[in-house]
Amino acid sequence: MRRDIKPANAMLTGTIDKREPCADQAVGLVCRQTPAGGQLAKGRPVTVVVSTGAPKTEVPDVTDKDQSDAPRTLEEKGFEVRTRRIDSTRAPGTVLEQNPQAGEQAAKGTDITLTAAEAPERVTVSDLTGRTVSEARKLLTESNLKLGTTTEVTSTSPAGSVVDQSITAGETAAAGSPIDVQLATPRHRTTPNSTPTLPPPPTFPLP
């Protein structure tokens, strides 16, 4: 598509020849011109190619790679790389996500954000035995843990108190982990079935 433009030198005639991606010019700026420069005769036309922005390329897949290797792969394609880290059970440094995603088209210089695994903080588990559910929950919250499932078991301990926990007191667990507990419930006493007393059979005088 050709379109006349007004050049800086009013004695020349400018025409847009076409628009195409241009690595070093922003959208709307001239990528190149014909003639390239020099002295021109009055009225001689100058044609230009206008930039539609940086050329786009396919974003490579770097998920599951180590964060020390993934940036190099992206930078070789002309992208910028930013990394954020989140707690994960995956090996520390493993790339979990990327944005834009693999296979998308993006201009060179685009920021690619990587989400990498980080070993979660570990905290010491408190002793919950003998505590009520509310007390156990409070202790766990203070340690950056949380109460998991509660199960009732028959016990001679006070009803509703913790008699066992899924991770032993003094051991460490990943921050935010649930700790399951067992709660005491009293034994039910059983009353033996009583045999009803039957009246004696009637007696009759002998003839």
- Each residue of 18-49: pLDDT tens digit? 787 777 777 778 877 777 766 766 767 788 88
**Domain presence at residue 194:** no
Q: Do 151 and 113 fall within a single domain?
A: no
Q: Do 74 and 103 fall within a single domain?
A: yes
The pTM score is 0.51
Position 2 scores a pLDDT of: 42
**Domain presence at residue 90:** yes
* Cα torsion angle, 129, 131, 133, 139, sign: negative
Q: Which two tokens stand for residue 20?
A: 């195409």
**Domain presence at residue 12:** yes
Residues 147 and 140 sit within 8 Å (Cβ to Cβ) = yes
CATH code at position 9: 3.30.10.20
**Domain presence at residue 126:** yes
- Each residue of 186-198: pLDDT tens digit? 876 555 565 666 6
Q: Distance between CA atoms of 33 and 17, rounded to whole angstroms?
A: 9
**Domain presence at residue 138:** yes
Q: Do 131 and 95 fall within a single domain?
A: no
Position 45 scores a pLDDT of: 78
Q: Do 114 and 136 fall within a single domain?
A: no
Residue 183 reports pLDDT greater than 90: yes
Domain that holds residue 31: 3-51
In a 10 Å sphere around its CB, with 0-12 CB exposed, 13-18 middle and 19+ buried, how is residue 183 labelled? buried
Position 50 scores a pLDDT of: 86
**Domain presence at residue 13:** yes
Q: Do 39 and 91 fall within a single domain?
A: no
User: Phi and psi at residue 6, in whole multiples of 5°?
Assistant: -100, 110
Percentage of the residues of the chain whose pLDDT score is greater than 70:
81
Residues 140 and 178 sit within 8 Å (Cβ to Cβ) = no
Q: Do 73 and 99 fall within a single domain?
A: yes
